[in-house]
Structure 1
Amino acid sequence: MRLNDIHLRDPYVLPVREHGTYYLYGTTGRTAWDGRPEGFDVYTSKDLTEWEGPYPAFRPDASFWADREYWAPEVHVYRGKYYMFATFKAEGRCRAVQILRADHPLGPFAPNGEGPVTPADWECLDGTLYVDESGLPWMVFCHEWLQVKNGKMCAVRLTEELDAAIGDPVVLFRAADASWVVPVEGDDRFVTDGPFLVREEDGRLLMLWSSCGKDGYAIGIAHSDSGQLAGSWRQEPTALFGKDGGHGMLFADFSDRLLLSIHVPNVHPQERPAFFPVRQDGDSLLMVDR
Structure 2
Amino acid sequence: MILSHEVNGLLMRKYFIAFVLSLSGVGIVQGKSTDTLAYWRFEDGKPLTNLNNEPNAQPATGQTVSDVTGNNNRLRTFNTDVRRYPPDTSPTFSQRVGAIKLQKNISNNQSMHFTGMQDLYTFGGPLEKTKLKAFTLEVAVRIQSIGVTNDEFQVIVGKDGQPVKKMGNAPLQLTIAGRTEEDTVKHAPAIQIFDREGNFHNAASQTPLPKDAWVWLAAVCDGETLKLFVDRGKGYRMEANVDGIKGGLIESKGGWTIGRGMFRLAPGQWVQQGWIDEVRITSRALNVREFVGYKRSKQERDLDESQAERMSSDIEIRELVKDIADPCMIKAGDTFYISGTGAPNGFDAYSSKDLKNWKKHTGIFKKTKDSWGTHWFWAPSIIPNGEKFDLFYTSKGPIPHSGGRESMRICRAVGDSPLGPFKEVSSAIKDPLINIGLATIDIEGFVDDDGRRYIYYVLDYLDVGKSRILVAELGDDGRVIGESSFCMEPDLPWEGGNWVEAPSVIKHDGWYIMFYSGNPFFSNKYAVGYAVSRSPRGPWVKPPGNRILGEEIGMPGPGHAGLLKHSDGLYYFPFHALIGENARRATFMVGLELKPTGNQYGYRPVFTDIPTP
Q: 1:215 to 1:56 in 2, by over 3 A?
A: closer
Residue 503 of structure 2: aligned partner: 195
SS at match of 2:383: strand
CA contact (8 A) 2:377 2:396 kept: yes
Counterpart-to-counterpart distance in 2, 1:134 and 1:56: 33
1:80 to 342, 362, 387: 387
Q: Does 1:27 align with 2:362?
A: no
Shift of 1:4: 6.0
One-letter code of the match for 1:194? Answer: A
Q: Is the 8 A contact 1:132 1:228 kept in 2?
A: no
Tell me if structure 2 keeps the 8 A contact 1:96–1:123: yes
Query: Which residue does the alignment assign to 1:166?
Result: 481
Take 2:568 and 2:451, find their aligned partners in 1: how far apart are those partners? 28
Alignment partners' CA distance in 2, 1:206 and 1:246: 16
Change (3 A) 1:242 1:6: closer
- 8 Å Cα contact 2:321/2:588 also seen in 1: no
Does the C-alpha gap of structure 1 residues 173 and 47 become closer, same or farther in structure 2, counting only changes over 3 Å?
same
Opposite residue 410 of structure 2, the aligned amino acid is V
Please state if 1:12 is matched with 2:332.
Answer: no
CA distance in 2, matches of 1:266, 1:212: 17
Preserved CA contact (<8 Å) 2:446 2:506: no
Match of 1:251 among 548, 560, 564: 564
Q: Structure 1 residue 103 and structure 2 residue 412: aligned?
A: no
Within 5 Å, give how 1:58-69 maps onto structure 2.
Answer: 58-69=365-376
Structure richer in strand, relative to its length: 1
Letter in 1 for 2:326: D
Residue of structure 2 equivalent to 1:34: none
Residue 289 of structure 1, CA deviation: 5.4
* Aligned counterpart, 1:48: 355
Shift of 1:5: 5.3
What TM-score do the two structures reach when normalised by structure 1?
0.85
1:285 is aligned to 2:594: no
Label 1:255 to 1:285 Cα distance change in 2 as closer, same or farther (>3 A): closer
1:120-158 Cα deviation digits (max 9, x unpaired):
411110112234465433221001111112211111232
Asked whether the equivalents of residues 327 and 339 of structure 2 are also in contact (C-alpha less than 8 Å), the reply is yes
Conserved 8 A contact 2:345-2:375: no
- Whether 1:233 and 2:540 are equivalent positions in the alignment is yes
**Is contact 1:153-1:175 (8 Å) kept?**
no
* CA spacing shift, 1:68–1:15, aligned 2, 3 Å: same
Q: Which moved more, 1:65-74 or 1:111-120?
A: 111-120
In the superposition, the TM-score normalised over structure 2's length comes to 0.42
Tell me how far apart the structure 2 counterparts of residues 143 and 284 of structure 1 sit (CA, whole Å). Answer: 27
* In structure 1, distance between residues paired with 2:538 and 2:353: 38
How far off is 1:260 after superposition? 0.5
275, 282, 285: which one pairs with 2:589?
275
* Contact 1:94–1:120 (CA under 8 A) maintained in structure 2: no
Q: Quick one: distance in 2 between partners of 1:270 and 1:83?
A: 27
Q: 1:261 to 1:157 in 2, by over 3 A?
A: same
Letter in 2 for 1:284: R
Other-structure match for 2:525 = 216
Q: Is the 8 A contact 2:381 2:445 kept in 1?
A: no
- 1:144-191 Cα deviation digits (max 9, x unpaired): 1111122111112322211x2233322111122x453123xxxxxx11
CA contact (8 A) 1:245 1:266 kept: no
Structure 1 residue 221: Cα displacement: 0.4
Q: Using the alignment, how far apart are the partners of 1:102 and 1:54 within structure 2?
A: 14
Contact 2:330–2:382 (Cα < 8 Å) also in 1:
yes
Query: Which residue in the other structure is 2:490 paired with?
Result: 175
Contact 1:140–1:156, Cα closer than 8 Å, also in 2: yes
Matched residues in 2 for 1:55 and 1:240: separation?
33
Name the SS of the counterpart of 1:229 in structure 2: coil
105 and 5 in structure 1: CA distance in 2 versus 1, 3 angstrom threshold = closer
Write the letter of the residue equivalent to 1:45: S
Deviation sequence 1:91-146 (CA, Å, 0-9, x none): 42321111111111111001133232223411110112234465433221001111
SS of match in other structure, 1:247: coil
Residues 250-259 or 233-242, more deviating: 250-259
Cα distance, 1:15–1:256 mapped onto 2, change above 3 Å: farther
Distance 1:230 1:74, change over 3 A: closer
Conserved 8 A contact 2:569-2:593:
no
Closer/same/farther in 2, CA of residues 10 and 232 from structure 1, 3 Å limit: same
Larger Rg: 2
Structure 2 CA distance for partners of 1:279 and 1:256, relative to 1, 3 Å: closer
**Matched AA of 2:380:** P
Counterpart position of 1:148: 464
Q: Displacement, 1:265? A: 2.1
Gap change, CA 1:256 and 1:130, over 3 Å in 2: closer
Distance in 1 between the 2:329 and 2:446 partners? 16
Deviations 1:39-84 (A, max 9, x none): 1111111222221113320012211111111000121112221111
Larger CA deviation: 279-288 vs 264-273: 264-273
Q: Are the counterparts in 2 of residues 9 and 263 from structure 1 also a CA contact under 8 Å?
A: yes
The question of whether the paired residues in 1 share the 8 Å contact of 2:490 and 2:496 is answered with no
Paired residue for 1:118, among 409, 415, 434?
434
Structure 2 residue runs of 5 or longer lacking an equivalent are 1-8, 11-318, 399-404, 552-556, 597-602
